[in-house]
Amino acid sequence: MDAQPVHDLPDVETLVRLLDSIFSEINLGLLVYHLEDPDEASSLRLVYVNAAASAAAGSDLTACVGMVILDAFPSLAETDLPETYARVAREKEPRRLGTIEYEDARLEHRYYAVRAFPMPNECVCVVFENISLRKQIDTKVQQRTAELRRQYDDLHQHTDTLVQALQLHLDALLETLAGNLTPAQRRHVEALRAAAAQLTDGTRAASGGGWARRRV
């Protein structure tokens, strides 16, 4: 299919009206920037914000419409996101940007899953989702997993210590009663010593590799 002639593309204002009629109720945040100077990422101007974007950010972002990107979101100056957005607008290639953290004097710290798509007339659409709750849950799961691992390792260390003490007592018992044990009694004590040694080897192996197996 032939590319659409440039003169047939909607202008930025028409594009914004079309977006608002289609995406105003979508449950993902949408920001549309217009790259006014192809050579300057700082010339990205915010031209559209949908309702879900304000909800995800926890602040009314419509007040930022008309601002250049670093006036709207000043903390982006510390990242390569403006240049990335500008590259999407120039090269017409979508980008999946993964998880982004953002906060500034107006917006509290949150995590977002972000993608960027090229649009006509040197525009770029940034689609994002607030995943802060998911990140908090992941962090708590990691903390709890680390705590359980410490408890698991402590249990095996304690068990190993007890088993070693049992072996010492059995050795002392054999030495003390060596001449007074019947063959059957000696077999029982030797069996206890072998079981203790096997238990020691098992707890050491479990503390060294068992946790990884249980996490698979």
- CA dist 16 and 1 (Å) reads 25
Q: Is 198 helix (H, G, I), strand (E, B) or coil?
A: helix
Separation of CA 35 from chain center: 30
Report pLDDT for 152.
72
- For the segment 150-166, what is each residue's pLDDT rounded down to a tens digit? 877 777 777 777 777 77
- CA dist 107 and 109 (Å) reads 7
For the CA atoms of 164, 170, 176, 179, the dihedral, rounded to the nearest 10 degrees, stands at -140
Average pLDDT over residues 51-71: 93
Highest-scoring range by mean pLDDT, 15-29, 123-137, 198-212? 123-137
pLDDT at 62 over 80: yes
Tell me the pLDDT band of 7, cut-offs 50, 70 and 90. Answer: very low
Closest CA to 45 of 32, 26, 60: 32
Other C-beta atoms within 10 Å of 104: how many? 14
- CA dist 118 and 110 (Å) reads 25
Cα maximum dimension of the chain: 108
Report pLDDT for 32.
94
pTM, two decimal places: 0.59
